[in-house]
Amino acid sequence: MTEPRVSGDWRAWFAEHGPRLRMIARQWTRSEADADDVLQEAFIRFWKHQRHLPGDPNALVVTSIRRAALDLIRSSDRRTVREKAVAADADTVGWFEPESDPRLNALAESLGRLPEEQREVVVLKTWGELTFDQIGEQLAISPNTAASRWRYAMEALRRLISARSHA
Amino acid sequence: MPEPQDDIEIALSALRPRAPGPEVAQAVAASLDSRPQERGKVILWFSGLTAAASLALAFLVLPEEEASIAPLAVTSELPIRADNSVAAAKVVADAAPVGRSFARSAPPPAPQAASAAGSLGAGASAKAMAAVPPEARYRLAGASRSPTSLELLEPVRLRDGTYVRPVRLRREHSTQWEAAGSGARLVRYRPEESTLLLPLETY
């Protein structure tokens, strides 16, 4: 895993890591606007107060994003509603830049069909660049559970892509 | 040949998450970039006040004691033998503290201070004075104290992230003692130096 640079100009760091961090924020929020708000708050908090803390700074910034997302949910007191809404209406194609390759678009769409708990692991591992141990800490599950969810997600994505290609 | 699952992983990593909108970067910049500027302004603002604050502090903590020195013209003739007084004066001068705190200075003791005043009572001191021949007595010929000088040093950052400006205060005391018989003079020189840390942090 590439350890993010946490010194120097925040703009360079933000330009390099902003997209994947926003992706992480997006999976825990209801809308694009909420994702931007969460990313903004989490990044400022991380840069001001947490980037010099011991430990993996990448895990710290992901934790900061998760906390900001949970704070946003609690502040609106709509957690249950939000979770159902995200699970049901996850338009994951919009989470990514448009691709010319239809297979990539199909994969992005299939990601939205995964159970939320599996998609969470996929996002944290692929774009959060976390290990299964770190994912387990983030989600309060064991590393083995995180690895299992990852495997199930890969199998599910493979099935979904195959089904689309045969349709 | 890679497993199909690996192909999925590779394909996932090929997906490009959407970048945050420019308004996010602007909001972050408004928060992160304004901070050092404000801090700079604060430091600048405090720098201007530091001199005034230091002067006020110097006068409060290190008040000029001309009034207390002037009465030294009382110039009590103090008994001390010339040979002993030289040694005593040197010892006192060598032991003059540097960098001590802002305790008010007592009227400068006579060169015999180490022996007579400390260990003997008033009666014993009078006896000692009577025992010393007049030509060996010293009288206070003068006392002076330089104006307090302030040296403003560059702000420094402490471990907790706050900023302070060190201020060094200096002044010098000297008392002159004259031997009644020979007219020889002893000069007792006492530099005094202290350092203050004026906080510059405001948030």
The DSSP secondary-structure symbol of B71 reads: G
pLDDT of residue A101: 83
Identify whether A150 is part of a domain.
yes
Measured CA angle at A143 (ends A140, A146), to 5 deg: 80
Identify whether A13 is part of a domain.
yes
CB contact under 8 A, B12 and A36: no
B13: which chain A residues are within 8 Å (Cβ-Cβ)? 126
Domain CATH for A19: 1.10.1740
Nearest to B176 by CA among B126, B137, B123, B139: B139
Domain CATH for A128: 1.10.10.10
B82, pLDDT greater than 80: no
Q: How many domains does chain A have?
A: 2
Q: Are residues A105 and A83 in the same domain?
A: no
For residue B87, give the amino acid letter: A
Q: Are residues A11 and A76 in the same domain?
A: yes
Q: Are residues A107 and A46 in the same domain?
A: no
* This prediction's pTM: 0.52
How many Å apart are CA B14 and CA A118, to the nearest integer? 19
B138, pLDDT greater than 70: yes
Q: Are residues A79 and A159 in the same domain?
A: no
Structural domain of residue A45, as residue ranges?
1-89
Model confidence over B5-56: pLDDT tens digits? 578 888 898 899 988 888 888 888 888 886 555 555 555 555 556 656 666 6
Model confidence over B93-126: pLDDT tens digits? 333 333 333 334 444 555 554 344 444 455 555 6
Model confidence over A18-30: pLDDT tens digits? 999 999 999 888 8
User: Which of A149-160 are b and which e, b meaning 16 or more Cβ less than 10 Å from the residue's Cβ?
Assistant: bbeebbebbbeb
Residue of A nearest to B29 (CA): A11
Q: Residues of A numbered 11-70 whose beta carbons fall under 8 angstroms of chain B's beta carbons: which are they?
A: 11, 14, 18-23, 26, 36, 39-40, 43-44, 47-48
Q: Is B166 exposed, middle or buried (0-12, 13-18, 19+ CB in 10 A)?
A: middle
CB contact under 8 A, A22 and B18: yes
Q: Are residues A3 and A84 in the same domain?
A: yes
CB contact under 8 A, A107 and B11: yes
Q: Are residues A130 and A52 in the same domain?
A: no
Q: Which residue has the higher pLDDT, A145 or B30?
A: A145
How many Å apart are CA A69 and CA A82, to the nearest integer? 11
